[in-house]
Amino acid sequence: MARTVTLSIEKMHCGSCVGRVDRALAAVSGVQDVSVNLATETALITGQGSGLVDRLVSAAEAAGYPAHVAEDADYDKQEQRDAEALALNRRVILAVVLGLPVFILEMGGHMVPAFHHMIHQTIGQQASWTIQATLTTMVLIGPGRSFYTDGLPALFRAAPDMNSLVAVGTLAAYFYSMTVLIVPEVLPVEARAVYFEAAAVIVVLILVGRWLEARAKGKTGAAISSLLRLQPKTAQVLQDGKPVEVAVAKLVPGDLILLRPGESAPVDGVVASGQSHMDESMLTGEPMPVPKAQGDVVTGGTVNGNGSLTVKATRVGKDTVLAGIVRMVQEAQGAKLPIQALVDRITLWFVPVVLVVATVTVIVWLLVGPQPVLSYALVAGVSVLIIACPCAMGLATPTSIMVATGRAAERGVLFRKGDALQSLAEVDVIAFDKTGTLTEGEPALRLFTPAENFDRAQTLACVAAVEERAEHPVARAIVAAVHDEGLSLPQADKVAAQSGLGISGNVDGKHVTVGSDRLMRDIGVDVSAFDSTATPAAARGETVFYAAIDGQVAAMITVVDRIKPNAATVLRALHEKGLKTVMITGDKAETAQTIADEIGVTTVIAGVMPRGKVDAIARLQSDGRKVAFVGDGINDAPALAAADIGIAIGTGTDVAIQSADVVLMSGDLQGVQTAHHISTQAMRNIRQNLFWAFGYNTALIPVAAGVLFVPLGVLLSPMLAAGAMALSSVFVLTNALRLRRV
């Protein structure tokens, strides 16, 4: 049986690292799918077979990337990221302290000639070079050591990464300069110049870039961190009637928890006593508090209002709704979009190609470059190596996914699958179920008209006895009406539901059937006696169905289901984005069309059974359109699965809907518009990042190689190349963070 494993991967620094980890894990026997995420530094693997985890860890480590199984605590990496940023901060400060004098000693004379003369007249050039060599050596073996301990082994394994580029570039400048310092006679006089400042400043600038990157990465995972912080660490458990503080990890179902005003619910449960209001905005995105009394459900992470509640724990630990939400967001953030496949193929070969380009650049400069040819060749080669580091490429997609899915979760939208982010942005048609989706899903009995010779109270009681066994909202409306009228319900047996048509059973020796006119026709019951009242009712938007007793029509029943208040507004907004809207319902065409006209649905497909919804979606897809279907996630499961994107409207607790790609935590249709808006903005953001990442390298590698030297006399400095490389990653991360405001 297939299982999913999440590994934390160390030492990933760029897109080429992602490609090598992906390839190494995919080669493990039994692996079916791999998704490696640079931003989260994790790998999500689906596979089967004994010893799968051990084989995956071994494969990652053999590729040069230590790995371990990610525990739940690993997902909240804020403290880890803060520690990494602090450690990088110390390295940056040390590198600046050591590297700044090198820069001043060498470049000060170029910028201020008087400074150059002062150096010559005081300590002398040789002493200046010796000081630079000493300080640069300290920079390389101190704060810059990781570039060489990670980059050189990767190079020797024939799997170079960005560290390899930095290592080769800085060491080339360093050893060339040491040669000039120690054995200058092996080089022509015109080539005797040192580049210690290039090696030192490159390390400084790249470390600064990594520090900024680490800080930005911390912000991309803010949504997960905020979700995890919603659950308190301890709870007040009633033991012998007295509250005792207990760690949340030790709570078990059945515990009675005292929830004071302003406290967050530690687990899911049911109110045992007390009255209050709960802030459920973390689930639904809706700010209005929800009243809670005995018997009402309380969700872990929601915040109590002014009252005190005693809550009986029902689900704890990994079984809570909050834990399920966190898992969904984590899985979505770790997913790989289809657009990422191209990036992975490019970055896997990018670093080796850059090494070849740098080598060719050096050779060309040596063959046709001006004097001092060695100096020019070194500068150009090092600049190519440094500026081409593919960090921005590796971060372009995953950072946007992390921020977008996290922001969506904050607004009550859960992308269960990361690729849904791209698919939803590409849809042409959004199809809706009617009951519970476009309408409130709480129909009320409008008319119960008995046929001639049938007693209203007795007939209603028989119908309700059968409907009591059903879960459909219409059934609940009939049962509620019976209770309101104070009628007693007889016992029903041999109850059988007929999907999409109705229900039947035996009551007091009578066979009762309740359902649509289609069902009545199928069983040979004539309902024409009600035609004069049924047609106007359907035209008013009421749902019409019938009851038959022992093969004779016994009553006409109509229920009315209020349209959701913002349905028309949401559909109008979708139309403005160029989307076609469709209503697919089992209701009669007249009723469906009346509702469609009121809210502005483009097309109506009525009178269909659950299987018919699947066929209707297939017909829409046959025109080459991508279709999203919005339903309740239970009765509409086949349609949700058949659509290109399934969007399930939940109630705030139904987050385990397996057939949907996107789950809306509230019943508010605004969530559909929110989900589509976030997906389109995320894809726009990703394209911007990729354009920058690829455009940056495409434009600046030739410049670094020296194509502007002949026409303009411009040759890019390795230090400027390092600064540009570091800033490219920061730009991508900063651009992704803009999604926090959508």
Of 624, 414, 450, 420, nearest in space to 529 by CA: 450
Whether omega before 372 lies within 30 degrees of 0, making that bond cis, reads yes
Q: Residue 190 gets which letter from DSSP?
A: G
- What are the tokens at 358? 């740098």
Please tell me the distance from the alpha carbon of residue 339 to that of residue 332, in angstroms, as a whole number. 15
138 vs 146, higher pLDDT? 138
Percent of the chain with pLDDT over 70: 87
| 173 within 8 A of 384, measured Cβ to Cβ | no
Measured over the CA atoms of residue 194, residue 196, residue 197 and residue 202, the dihedral's sign is positive
Q: Residue 221 gets which letter from DSSP?
A: T
Q: Residue 522 gets which letter from DSSP?
A: H
DSSP result, 677-715: HHHHHHHHHHHHHHHHHHHHHHHHHHHHHTTTHHHH---
CA 473-476-478 angle, to 5 degrees, is 115
pLDDT digits (tens, 9 = 90+) for 695-729: 877 788 888 888 888 788 777 777 677 777 777 77
Measured over the CA atoms of residue 285, residue 286, residue 288 and residue 292, the dihedral's sign is negative
**How confident is the model over 649-678, as a mean pLDDT?**
73
**What's the pLDDT at 721?**
74
**What's the pLDDT at 569?**
93
Check whether 180 has a pLDDT greater than 80. Answer: yes
**What's the pLDDT at 427?**
94
Check whether 694 has a pLDDT greater than 70. Answer: yes
CA 577-583-586 angle, to 5 degrees, is 170
> What pairing do the DSSP bridges indicate for beta strands 31-37 and 234-239?
unpaired
Q: Residue 285 gets which letter from DSSP?
A: S
**What's the pLDDT at 73?**
43
Mean pLDDT (the chain) is 82
Q: What b-and-e string marks burial along 147-165, b requiring 16 or more CB atoms within 10 Å of the CB?
A: bbebbbebbeeebbbbbbb
- Long-range Cβ pairs for the range 291-297 (8 Å, 24+): 295/270, 295/271, 296/270, 296/271, 297/268, 297/269, 297/270, 297/271, 297/653
**What's the pLDDT at 656?**
33
- What are the tokens at 662? 């996107």
Among 212-226, 297-311, 516-530, the range scoring the smallest mean pLDDT is: 212-226
Active site residues: 433
Check whether 164 has a pLDDT greater than 90. Answer: no
Fill in the amino acid letter for 643. Answer: A
Check whether 685 has a pLDDT greater than 70. Answer: yes
Kindly give the residue spans of alpha helices, DSSP state H, lying in 27-77: 52-62, 72-75
Burial of 563: CB neighbours in 10 Å, binned 0-12, 13-18, 19+ = middle
Q: Which helix (H) or strand (E) holds 191?
A: none
pLDDT digits (tens, 9 = 90+) for 411-455: 888 887 667 888 899 999 999 988 778 888 778 888 989 998 899
Please tell me the distance from the alpha carbon of residue 671 to that of residue 651, in angstroms, as a whole number. 12
Q: Which helix (H) or strand (E) holds 313?
A: strand 309-315
Percent of the chain with pLDDT over 90: 16
Check whether 660 has a pLDDT greater than 80. Answer: no
| 650 within 8 A of 667, measured Cβ to Cβ | yes
Helices 196-220, 222-229: crossing angle, 10 deg rounding: 40
Give residue 579's pLDDT band: very low, low, confident or very high (50, 70, 90): very high
Among 16-30, 627-641, 670-684, the range scoring the smallest mean pLDDT is: 627-641
Check whether 335 has a pLDDT greater than 80. Answer: no
Give residue 106's pLDDT band: very low, low, confident or very high (50, 70, 90): confident
**What's the pLDDT at 226?**
64
Of 424, 399, 427, 429, nearest in space to 414 by CA: 424
**What's the pLDDT at 225?**
64
Rg over alpha carbons for the chain, rounded to the nearest Å, is: 34
Q: Is 112 helix (H, G, I), strand (E, B) or coil?
A: coil
Check whether 639 has a pLDDT greater than 60. Answer: yes
**How confident is the model over 258-274, as a mean pLDDT?**
90
pLDDT digits (tens, 9 = 90+) for 337-394: 677 666 767 766 777 888 888 899 989 988 988 888 888 888 888 888 877 766 677 6
Of 145, 33, 29, 39, nearest in space to 737 by CA: 39
The single residue listed with the structure tokens 């029509």 is 553
Q: Residue 563 gets which letter from DSSP?
A: B
* Distance from the first to the final alpha carbon of the chain: 40
Among 321-330, 444-453, 576-585, the range scoring the smallest mean pLDDT is: 321-330
Looking at mean pLDDT, say which of 110-124, 202-216, 444-458 comes out highest.
Answer: 444-458
**What's the pLDDT at 270?**
93
Q: Residue 579 gets which letter from DSSP?
A: -
Measured over the CA atoms of residue 503, residue 508, residue 509 and residue 510, the dihedral's sign is negative
What is the CB-side half-sphere exposure of residue 535 using CA atoms within 13 A? 4
Please tell me the distance from the alpha carbon of residue 49 to that of residue 52, in angstroms, as a whole number. 6
pLDDT digits (tens, 9 = 90+) for 533-551: 888 888 888 888 899 999 8
Please tell me the distance from the alpha carbon of residue 676 to that of residue 686, in angstroms, as a whole number. 15
9 to each of 42, 69, 211, 332, how far by Cα in Å? 5, 9, 19, 18
253 vs 328, higher pLDDT? 253
DSSP result, 412-466: TEEESSTTHHHHHHT-SEEEE-IIIIIB-S--EEEEEEEPTT--HHHHHHHHHHH
141 to each of 149, 212, 406, 718, how far by Cα in Å? 10, 22, 39, 20
Check whether 182 has a pLDDT greater than 70. Answer: yes
Please tell me the distance from the alpha carbon of residue 199 to that of residue 418, in angstroms, as a whole number. 41
**What's the pLDDT at 653?**
36
pLDDT digits (tens, 9 = 90+) for 595-626: 888 899 989 998 887 678 888 999 999 878 99
- Cα–chain center distance at 253: 31
**What's the pLDDT at 420?**
84
Give residue 568's pLDDT band: very low, low, confident or very high (50, 70, 90): very high
Q: What b-and-e string marks burial along 525-537, b requiring 16 or more CB atoms within 10 Å of the CB?
A: bebeebeeebeeb
78 vs 588, higher pLDDT? 588
**What's the pLDDT at 707?**
85
Fill in the amino acid letter for 98. Answer: L
Burial of 354: CB neighbours in 10 Å, binned 0-12, 13-18, 19+ = buried
Give residue 654's pLDDT band: very low, low, confident or very high (50, 70, 90): very low
Give residue 583's pLDDT band: very low, low, confident or very high (50, 70, 90): very high
**What's the pLDDT at 655?**
37
DSSP result, 248-271: GGG--TT-EEEE-TTPBPSSEEEE
**What's the pLDDT at 652?**
35
| 30 within 8 A of 76, measured Cβ to Cβ | no
Q: How many residues does the chain have?
A: 742
**How confident is the model over 254-258, as a mean pLDDT?**
92
Please tell me the distance from the alpha carbon of residue 592 to that of residue 223, in angstroms, as a whole number. 40
